[in-house]
């Protein structure tokens, strides 16, 4: 699920996008379709070169496939390309994820100092710094003897927490359609209400399956989510006053 999860990132910077009513939906749809097509083609090519059984046994599928077709030099080039793509992915995550605490602080849900921006570059510096500290802390407490196990734990945290909030967001769409039917809605949900209900059910299934398969990591991920509740209630009380 991590491979297809980037579709939502554009919404975090929606206020900085030109003509968002047009460009945000197009970005979500086109990036998802292009990503799906690329992943399917690449996976099919790996299966053709290596066979599914060899793919399942390999921890470096792309590098092994390149070595079969291009030799050791090709495997090294593919490894460098993957590292470069990883840096690009991280760059996008750093850019977009920091906008979440920034927007929450601007709305008064988090401390106001998180809404501060750089006077010249207009970047949310405090939010970026806090995001970096949290990322370092999570990596440190999640470190396992094997790098694969460390990545697996971090991915479990991300997928579990994100899909909990995805389900809640879709539930909010259903609730607001009923509670505030007269609101102006520039974005239309295709197949409403079937599509959000299906997505909610899928998200819940994914969370339950993850908790069943990896209970220790699921409990840790749930604890991370619940750790934010005291801050939320404290800030909500302060805003109400």
pLDDT in tens, the chain (241 residues): 666 777 888 888 888 888 888 898 888 889 889 988 988 898 898 888 888 888 888 878 888 888 888 888 888 888 888 888 888 888 888 888 899 899 988 888 888 899 999 999 889 999 999 989 988 888 887 777 676 677 777 777 777 888 888 899 999 989 988 888 888 887 778 888 899 999 999 999 988 888 888 888 788 878 888 888 887 787 776 665 5
Give the C-alpha separation, 190 to 145, whole Å: 46
Rounded to an integer, what distance in angstroms lies between the CA atom of residue 131 and that of residue 223? 18
Predicted pLDDT at 8: 84
Q: What pLDDT is stored for residue 237 in this prediction?
A: 65
Report the predicted TM-score, pTM, of the whole model to 2 decimal places: 0.76
H-assigned helices in the chain: 9-12, 20-50, 52-57, 61-97, 99-106, 125-141, 147-179, 194-213, 215-227, 229-240
Q: Distance between CA 119 and CA 107 in Å, rounded? A: 20
Predicted pLDDT at 114: 92
Per residue in 111-124, is it b (16+ CB within 10 Å) or e — as a string? eeebbeeeeeeeeb
């Amino acid at each position: 699920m991590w491979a297809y999860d980037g579709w939502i990132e554009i919404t975090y910077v929606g206020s900085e996008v030109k003509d968002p009513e047009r460009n945000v939906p197009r970005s979500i749809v086109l990036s998802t379709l292009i990503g799906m097509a690329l992943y399917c083609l690449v996976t099919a090519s790996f299966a053709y070169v290596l066979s599914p059984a060899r793919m399942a046994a390999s921890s470096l599928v792309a590098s092994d496939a390149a070595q079969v077709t291009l030799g050791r030099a090709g495997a090294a080039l593919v490894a460098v390309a993957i590292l470069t793509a990883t840096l690009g992915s991280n760059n996008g995550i750093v850019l977009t994820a920091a906008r979440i605490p920034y927007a929450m602080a601007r709305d008064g849900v988090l401390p106001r100092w998180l809404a501060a921006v750089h006077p010249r570059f207009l970047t949310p510096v405090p939010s970026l710094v806090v995001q970096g500290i949290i990322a370092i802390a999570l990596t440190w407490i999640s470190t396992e003897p094997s790098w694969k196990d460390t990545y697996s734990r971090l991915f479990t945290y991300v997928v579990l927490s994100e899909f909990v909030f995805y389900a809640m967001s879709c539930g909010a769409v259903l609730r607001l359609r009923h509670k505030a039917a007269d609101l102006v809605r520039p974005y239309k949900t295709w197949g409403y209400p079937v599509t959000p209900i299906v997505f909610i059910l899928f998200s819940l299934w994914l969370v339950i399956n993850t908790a069943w398969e990896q209970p220790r990591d699921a409990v840790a991920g749930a604890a991370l989510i619940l750790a934010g509740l005291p801050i939320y209630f404290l800030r909500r009380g302060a805003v109400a006053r």
